[in-house]
Structure 1
Amino acid sequence: MNRILIKNAKIVNEGTIFEGDVLIEDDLIVEIAESISAKSSQCKIIDAEGNYLIPGAIDDQVHFREPGLTYKGDIESESKAAVAGGITSYIEQPNTVPNAVTQEILEEKYKIAAEKSYANYSFMMGATNDNLEEVLKTNPKNVAGIKIFLGSSTGNMLVDNEATLEKIFSSTPMLIAVHCEDETTIKNNLEKYKEEFGEDVPVMVHHLIRSEEACYISSSKAIALAKKTGARLHIFHLSTAKEMDLFTNKIPLEDKKITAEVCVHHLWFTNDDYATKGNLIKWNPAVKTANDRKVLWEALLDDRIDVIATDHAPHTLEEKKLPYLKAPSGGPLVQHAVVAMFEAHHQGKISIEKIVEKMCHNPAKIFKIEKRGFIKEGYYADLVIINSGLPWSVKKENILAKCGWSPFEGFTFKSRITHTFVNGQLVYTAFKVKEIRAGKRLLFDR
């Protein structure tokens, strides 16, 4: 039996922080108490030394690029980066090559992850204008949900047939996650800036091309359709102040039919950063203004926004160095997301309890993930120890994403992850990922 005793931890769970010990047997948490003694010489003891013990973060939106785009990243490399960053479970998106738009292609991705993944995994089923029959075959017990691109992004999976959209919304009982940007608005904006700049459009206008209006038009349409059909809607990577008026904090999360996510980059960067970061912070939806960031933080803290995620989407540095119109959108974030939020805590923006709520508890609740996202007896031992006073700098040599760069390169974080457990196995310690592919397929209580 695998038996590990974590001693002297500041345990963060369900809005409280308390000092105590946690006993792991095999892949489960079996005891949480103020003090636990090792009852066997076979029990490995890890002294948390008064550092924070949090549930492993659950990232509900990543692009790990396998199959088909593995020169950018793959399940092995990106899940390694995830566990080094305290993310023990991820939900990957369908715009790989081929797109995961049939049950057969979807299951192929699960087979790859079963062999390669260091973290727990689930994969979204992709919707298109003509695959409703395949979408409706999706098993709600072992697939996270249905993904719809209402704005084009990497992979050309745009769904723009309104009759099809209404059919999907009205006929699937599963959670539907959406990327919301209005294609017509984006195209019109792009033409305007091409008239002004020709082919040398600067990245500084990215947020004006993929504009507040483009986001709001699409988000408001998706929400209206969800209300009309009763669909369970989750809106990914919100980026504007205006969209925050579409969401409520008046009801408990468990009762919400429409939920919201914000990504680390929209909480961290603003359009002013394009001057120094350029295409490295080119995402879809775009990083927008300081006021947008301010209102996103307000909505996160007052519970209009339910989840913090990454939208981890690596591209090579060579691709990112292309001119703006040719450079792809997206960047690597899983290794630095949790410590970036702890940095925000150091800056007085958010409590540690709230970070855990938004990155661990709420994704588990929204997707109804079985026995994960909390530090509870009987739950899987997905756990992370964080030293909030152990500074380190992001450098090329410590970046684990296959693309080899990070928008945080050169930044010194005050907090560092020292241990990551996946299903009771210590997969990351001494600042190295062990060769233990401990990830399991996520299952769902529905």
Structure 2
Amino acid sequence: MSKILLKNAKVVNENSVFESDILLENDIIARIDSDISDANATVIDLKGNLLLPGVIDDQVHFREPGLTHKGTIATESRAAIAGGITTFMEQPNTNPQTTTIEKLEEKFAMAAKDSFANYSFLFGGTNDNLEELKSLDKNACSGVKLFLGSSTGNMLVDNEVVLEKIFSNTEMVISAHCEDEGTIRANMAKYQEMFGDNIPIEMHPIIRSAEACYLSSSKAIALAKKTGARLHVFHVSTGIETDLFTNAIPLEEKKITAEVCIHHLWFSDEDYAEKGTLIKWNPAVKTKTDREKLWEALLDDRIDVVATDHAPHTIEEKDNPYTKAPSGGPLVQHALLAMLQKEKEGVISLEKMVEKMCHNPAKLFDIDRRGFIREGYFADLVQVNQNSQNQVKKDNIFYKCGWSPFEGVTFDSSVARTFVNGLLAYENGSFAKEKRAKRLTFNR
């Protein structure tokens, strides 16, 4: 039996901050108490550092299979645990796409071999795979992903009859990328006529506009209400969309939920001048007012989850004219640090941050025994030193693509240790040779 005793932790869990010891036995949290001793345990003194549940990221693109020059399950999950993310849900727009049960299980086999973090995958809905989706067991994976606006990978679902059938024929959470394709195409045609391929990057949030987002999100929500489907709107990016969601009922009772991503909380359209295509995402980073409204909705519980939409591209791919530069960027290593910085600035509390990044993804996707620091739960834990500055630079970035939109930023906190299923998987820049990641299971 493997035992680790964590002493003198400042635990952040379930709307509380308290000092405690934590005993880990094999892959489980065995005991939480104020003064634990165990002669058979390896003792690690946290010296009053924060101890958080491992972060659960419900939206990443790790690029395997088929796009592995950008990233792999191994490289990006390794970067994730360095950033305190112990569990990820990966998206279906790889090559081949994850739109059959066979391809879904092939991805699980890859992750079982290579992943440093716990894993699940979303099954991609398309205009023509309804029967395959209907045969998918509700506990097989984290949920269904629909692209209601085209993004990286051609998986746009634009057949409204099929869309309603998908909403009517699954018990799983439907996670949706919501941008109205007609609006975007009309805007793109207008600006291409004006600028050709060299559209100024500042036009990105005008082309992929707030109106395009709101039109698509509101249609998806109306369809979810009509069919009774369980809808989760990914990467909300506009202030006007936040009014589509409610805080009148607890998360456990919501049928329609929302996520916001790190980049929409951190950047605004004022950053395009410096960052250029490095902060080109779909949906686009929009105005400071949009960013303020997103924070308001996150803090008042209309928005339920914070995620990354980690989507690496090579720097050579990003260094292209607007129409050829892909959308997306790498974020898993620095997402928790960015939120901790906002806590230092007084924007969000530690308790609320942990709720949005750890507790709520576990609740929303019905994940078995993760997302909380509880006896009997899997020992996914993150030690954070709030007094250890961390400057993001090329020689400490773990992404395969080798760059970060946060390069040059100095965070006031560092991830000191990350435990995955009781294994000390990451410690101050070093990684364990062993992997103990597990496929997620669900309580549905």
Q: TM-score range by the shorter chain?
A: over 0.9
Aligned with 1:62 (options 43, 60, 63): 60
Counterpart AA for 2:441? L
Q: In the alignment, does 2:24 pair up with 1:24?
A: yes
Aligned with 2:271 (options 270, 273, 281): 273
Counterpart AA for 1:9? A
Match of 1:300 in 2: 298
Deviations 1:128-174 (A, max 9, x none): 00000111122222300000000000011000000000000011111
Aligned with 2:424 (options 423, 426, 429): 426
CA distance in 2, matches of 1:235, 1:2: 41
Counterpart AA for 1:4? I
Match of 1:38 in 2: 38
Match of 1:2 in 2: 2
Bigger mean CA deviation after superposition, 425-434 or 358-367:
425-434
Deviations 1:55-102 (A, max 9, x none): 000000000000000000000000000000000000000000000000
Q: In the alignment, does 2:360 pair up with 1:362?
A: yes
Q: CA shift at 1:435, angstroms?
A: 2.1
Residues 99 and 124, structure 2, Cα contact 8 Å, conserved in 1? yes
Counterpart AA for 2:109? K
Map 1:45-56 → 2, pairs under 5 A: 45-56=43-54
CA distance in 2, matches of 1:228, 1:247: 16
Match of 1:257 in 2: 255
Aligned with 1:75 (options 52, 62, 73): 73
The DSSP-based 3-state class of the residue aligned with 1:124 is strand
Q: CA shift at 1:192, angstroms?
A: 1.2
Deviations 1:9-39 (A, max 9, x none): 0011100000010000000001000110123
Deviations 1:245-268 (A, max 9, x none): 100000000000000000000000
Map 1:115-264 → 2, pairs under 5 A: 115-264=113-262
Residues 142 and 441, structure 1, Cα contact 8 Å, conserved in 2? no
Counterpart AA for 1:80? R
The DSSP-based 3-state class of the residue aligned with 1:109 is helix
Count how many residue pairs are aligned between Structure 1 and Structure 2.
Answer: 444
Residues 208 and 284, structure 2, Cα contact 8 Å, conserved in 1? yes
CA distance in 1, matches of 2:194, 2:337: 40
CA distance in 2, matches of 1:142, 1:103: 9
Consecutive aligned runs of 4 or more in structure 1 exceeding 3 Å deviation: none
Aligned with 2:83 (options 82, 85, 88): 85
Q: In the alignment, does 2:343 pair up with 1:329?
A: no
Residues 415 and 428, structure 2, Cα contact 8 Å, conserved in 1? no
Residues 72 and 315, structure 1, Cα contact 8 Å, conserved in 2? yes
Match of 1:443 in 2: 441
Counterpart AA for 1:213? E
Q: CA shift at 1:199, angstroms?
A: 2.1
CA distance in 2, matches of 1:170, 1:220: 17
Q: In the alignment, does 2:407 pair up with 1:409?
A: yes
Deviations 1:282-301 (A, max 9, x none): 00000000000000000000
Unaligned stretches of 5+ in structure 2? none
Counterpart AA for 2:391? S
The DSSP-based 3-state class of the residue aligned with 1:246 is coil
Q: CA shift at 1:198, angstroms?
A: 2.1
Residues 83 and 433, structure 1, Cα contact 8 Å, conserved in 2? no
CA distance in 1, matches of 2:357, 2:431: 21
Deviations 1:409-431 (A, max 9, x none): 01100000000000000000022
Match of 2:15 in 1: 15
CA distance in 1, matches of 2:330, 2:432: 21
Counterpart AA for 1:299? A
Q: CA shift at 1:127, angstroms?
A: 0.5
Aligned with 1:320 (options 314, 318, 321): 318
**Structure 2 length as normaliser, TM-score?**
0.99
Bigger mean CA deviation after superposition, 239-248 or 31-40:
31-40
CA distance in 1, matches of 2:434, 2:273: 41
Counterpart AA for 2:219? K
CA distance in 2, matches of 1:80, 1:36: 31
Residues 142 and 442, structure 1, Cα contact 8 Å, conserved in 2? no
The DSSP-based 3-state class of the residue aligned with 2:243 is helix
Deviations 1:82-123 (A, max 9, x none): 000000000000000000000001100000000000000000
Equivalent pairs: percent with the same residue?
64
Residues 113 and 121, structure 1, Cα contact 8 Å, conserved in 2? yes
CA distance in 2, matches of 1:199, 1:71: 25
CA distance in 1, matches of 2:277, 2:38: 52
CA distance in 1, matches of 2:227, 2:431: 45
Deviations 1:161-194 (A, max 9, x none): 0000000001111110000000000001111111
CA distance in 2, matches of 1:428, 1:357: 23
CA distance in 2, matches of 1:185, 1:331: 24
CA distance in 1, matches of 2:419, 2:280: 32
Unaligned stretches of 5+ in structure 1? none
CA distance in 1, matches of 2:196, 2:433: 50
Q: CA shift at 1:438, angstroms?
A: 1.6
CA distance in 2, matches of 1:200, 1:332: 24
CA distance in 1, matches of 2:219, 2:75: 37
Map 1:337-348 → 2, pairs under 5 A: 337-348=335-346
Counterpart AA for 2:336? V
CA distance in 2, matches of 1:198, 1:4: 60
CA distance in 2, matches of 1:436, 1:210: 43
Bigger mean CA deviation after superposition, 74-83 or 138-147:
138-147
The DSSP-based 3-state class of the residue aligned with 2:306 is strand
Bigger mean CA deviation after superposition, 427-436 or 158-167:
427-436
The DSSP-based 3-state class of the residue aligned with 1:58 is strand
Counterpart AA for 2:288? A
